[in-house]
């Protein structure tokens, strides 16, 4: 089962999917609600819909924090019938609209060894692209509550959105911030990620509740610690590239485990070489 929602700030609730520790956030307004991220498969999304209905019957607007499978492949189940608006960064929307086969293939390859049952479900899941797009910032009215959708820059991907609920002093950071494990660097921009987190931190106070992409809810101090680690990693990548060091040497010295650090080093070198996609 997907789980149930827990209130983490005023009329803002979070559900943590147990298999991959993905967070889904529900913002309640007066007669309307906003759902941030939709999980991985049609089955997970159907269970998520039931969890939402246990809290509210109000019509939903959806947001995808980015285009990776665990945050948006449930779109069709939650927003196709009846049609609901889905917001995302313009590049995330384009990826889901124009290249669903690649996204399916990448997600299946990532899951088939560790989670074969989920991979099989995912392979049968129909994708639905977002219908509303954000370039830098958009403001939504969710039943009288102002909600900001902001793209602070490249980081985990080139299309990360942060959802800010000012009256609750809460930020949904997506995979720009990770608590359940190290940051994921497969599609990342590790040299730009520190500046992106610095921008995100400018929107926080000491009391801000931050919902990471995976894991426990955190605070601004946690984000500052992760920012410092990413700054160190970016410095190592730049110094290693200048000195001609192999990416493996960068990974050995990085403040993250070996496998994600090696991915980060390779992505950073691609940025410096002008070949990062």
Q: Is 267 within 8 Å of 274 (Cβ atoms)?
A: no
Bond from prior residue into 82 cis (ω within 30 degrees of 0): yes
What confidence tier does 274 reach under pLDDT thresholds 50, 70, 90? confident
Q: What is the pLDDT of residue 61?
A: 98
What confidence tier does 259 reach under pLDDT thresholds 50, 70, 90? very high
Mean pLDDT of 120-148: 96
Strands (E), the chain: 6-9, 12-16, 23-28, 33-36, 60-63, 86-89, 132-134, 137-142, 145-150, 162-165, 170-174, 209-212
- Among the ranges given (115-124, 156-165, 184-193, 234-243), the one the predictor scored with the smallest mean pLDDT: 115-124
SS3 242: helix
SS3 90: helix
Q: What is the spatial distance between Cα 178 and Cα 223, in angstroms, rounded to a whole number? A: 9
State yes or no: pLDDT of 143 exceeds 90. yes
Q: What is the pLDDT of residue 1?
A: 66
Name the percent of the chain in helix, strand, coil, to the closest 5: 40, 20, 40
Q: Is 265 within 8 Å of 250 (Cβ atoms)?
A: yes
Q: What is the CA radius of gyration of the chain?
A: 18
Q: What is the spatial distance between Cα 233 and Cα 238, in angstroms, rounded to a whole number? A: 9
Strands 33-36 and 170-174: unpaired
What does the mean pLDDT of the chain come to?
96
Q: What is the pLDDT of residue 3?
A: 82
For helices 258-273 and 220-243, angle between their N-to-C axes, nearest 10 degrees:
60
State yes or no: pLDDT of 276 exceeds 90. no
State yes or no: pLDDT of 187 exceeds 90. yes
Q: Is 159 within 8 Å of 91 (Cβ atoms)?
A: yes
pTM: 0.96
Mean pLDDT of 45-58: 97
Q: Which residue has the tokens 């801000």?
A: 208
Domains of the chain: 6-219 (3.60.15.10)
State yes or no: pLDDT of 139 exceeds 90. yes
Q: Which two tokens stand for residue 223?
A: 């984000």
């Amino acid at each position: 089962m997907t789980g149930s929602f827990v209130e983490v700030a005023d009329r803002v609730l979070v559900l943590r999917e147990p298999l991959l520790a993905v967070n889904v956030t529900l913002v309640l307004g007066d007669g309307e609600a906003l759902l941030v991220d939709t999980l991985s498969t049609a089955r997970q999304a159907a269970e998520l819909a039931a969890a939402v209905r246990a809290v509210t019957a109000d019509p939903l607007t959806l947001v995808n924090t980015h285009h990776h499978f665990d945050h948006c492949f449930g779109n069709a189940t939650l927003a196709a019938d009846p049609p609901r608006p889905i917001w995302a960064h313009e590049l995330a929307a384009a990826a889901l609209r124009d290249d669903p086969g690649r996204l399916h293939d990448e997600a299946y390859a990532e899951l088939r060894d560790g989670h074969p049952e989920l991979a099989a479900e995912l392979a049968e899941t129909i994708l639905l692209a977002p219908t509303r797009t954000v370039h830098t910032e958009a403001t939504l009215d969710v039943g009288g509550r102002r909600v900001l959708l902001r793209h602070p820059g490249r980081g985990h991907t080139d299309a990360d959105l942060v959802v800010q609920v000012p009256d609750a002093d809460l930020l949904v950071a997506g995979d720009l911030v990770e608590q359940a494990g190290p940051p994921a660097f497969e599609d990342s921009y590790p040299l730009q990620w520190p500046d992106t987190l610095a921008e995100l931190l400018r929107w926080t106070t000491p009391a801000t509740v931050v919902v990471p992409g995976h894991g426990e809810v955190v605070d601004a101090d946690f984000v500052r610690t992760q920012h410092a680690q990413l700054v160190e990693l970016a410095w190592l990548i730049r110094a290693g590239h200048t000195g001609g060091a192999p990416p493996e040497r960068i990974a050995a010295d990085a403040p993250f485990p070996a496998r994600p650090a090696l991915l980060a080093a390779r992505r950073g070198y691609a940025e410096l070489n002008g070949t990062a996609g």
